[in-house]
Amino acid sequence: MTLSRTSAMNVARVLTESLPYIQRFTDATIVIKYGGNAMIEQELKRGFALDVVLMKLVGMNPIVVHGGGPQIGSVLEELNIESKFVDGMRVTDSKTMDVVQMVLGGLVNQEIVSLINECGGKALGLTGKDSKMINARKMLIERSSPELQVPEIIDIGHVGEVKQVNREVLDVVLASDIVPVIAPIGVGDDNETYNINADLVAGKIAEELNAEKLILVTDVPGLQDKDGNLLSGLDATEVDRLIEDGTISGGMLPKIRCALSAIENGVQSAHIIDGRVEHALMLEVLTDEGVGTLISSSTE
């Protein structure tokens, strides 16, 4: 197929625009939390895989950490196992944990690996249990109310938080031409298996590796002000102010706190991008435009 002169010029412009970013981020580690619609719609899935392959080919070191909540819910429903949530966290008993491991560590993980391989890359599927990469501890939810003299502690089962990231396996993989694809499952000192929020795992891996970027792929355009306008660039002080005045609330709060923790612990920048936009990852990393919100330690 022959490109028109206008199309050819557009291609040349994009390639030229991407050059300084390729030069800047050569050998840089970029941790990507992959979730939302980008994991469901076929074109978006393929576009994401192509973006990851391109990043690796031009010298970056992408690490993919994926979620899979909807897929877990679907399998639980097929098995007639009720899904229960407390403060947005899935209550995970032993039967549910078995499904979580099957879906995250097997079905979802291997689908992403296969997509990257089909697009010309080399991917390796891992869970946080491999070589005890993710050392976890049980997460307990605390609730307070005027009626209670002391806070209520709620045990939601095999749900964990990251205690420590052991980087040995990641260092070996990153030294090769292989892209690690990680399911957010950890193991505790008690050898129990824990289901962990993928945003938290991605953030802690980014911190441990002093990553250049943490990118959270979501189903929203990015952070918005109270009038619905996209906030394309913020520093940590501005984010704190938006939390205090209630602009940032609800389901966005955990993602923002994860991003803030990352940039406070050595990650250069965090991005919340709209995974509903085709090739959102490439647009964010390799062009001037971007498709979300950039959070940095200081305004650039």
Is residue 263 in some structural domain? yes
DSSP E strand boundaries for 88-133: 89-90, 123-127
Q: Which pLDDT tens digit goes with each residue over 229-266?
A: 888 888 888 888 888 888 887 777 778 888 999 999 99
- For residue 13, being part of any structural domain is answered with no
Q: Is residue 27 part of a domain?
A: no
Q: Which amino acid is at 57?
A: L
Q: Which residue segment(s) compose the domain that 82 sits in?
A: 54-296
Per the domain annotation, does 279 fall within a domain?
A: yes
Report yes or no on 194 lying in a domain: yes
3-state SS string for 47-88: HHHHHHHHHHHCCCEEEEEECCHHHHHHHHHHCCCCCCEECC
CB 283 within 8 A of CB 17: no
pLDDT digits (tens, 9 = 90+) for 256-274: 888 999 999 999 999 999 9
What pLDDT is stored for residue 150 in this prediction? 57
Instruction: Quote the number of domains for the chain.
Output: 1
**So what's the pLDDT on residue 4?**
66
The CATH number linked to 138 is 3.40.1160.10
Is 162 a domain residue?
yes
- The 10 Å Cβ neighbour count of residue 5 is 7
What is the C-alpha separation between 202 and 3, in angstroms, rounded? Answer: 40
- Which regions in the chain score pLDDT beneath 70? 1-5, 7-11, 143-152, 298-300
**Using CA atoms, how far apart are residues 51 and 112, in angstroms rounded to an integer?**
13
Q: Is residue 183 one of the residues assigned to a domain?
A: yes
Answer for the pair 122, 177: CB distance below 8 angstroms, yes or no.
yes
d(CA 166, CA 162): 11
10 in any annotated domain: no
- Nearest CA to 207 out of 134, 100, 143 is that of 134
- State CA 158 to chain mean position distance: 21
From 234, 193, 235, 219, select the one nearest 44 (Cα to Cα): 219
193-196 and 185-188 strand pairing: antiparallel
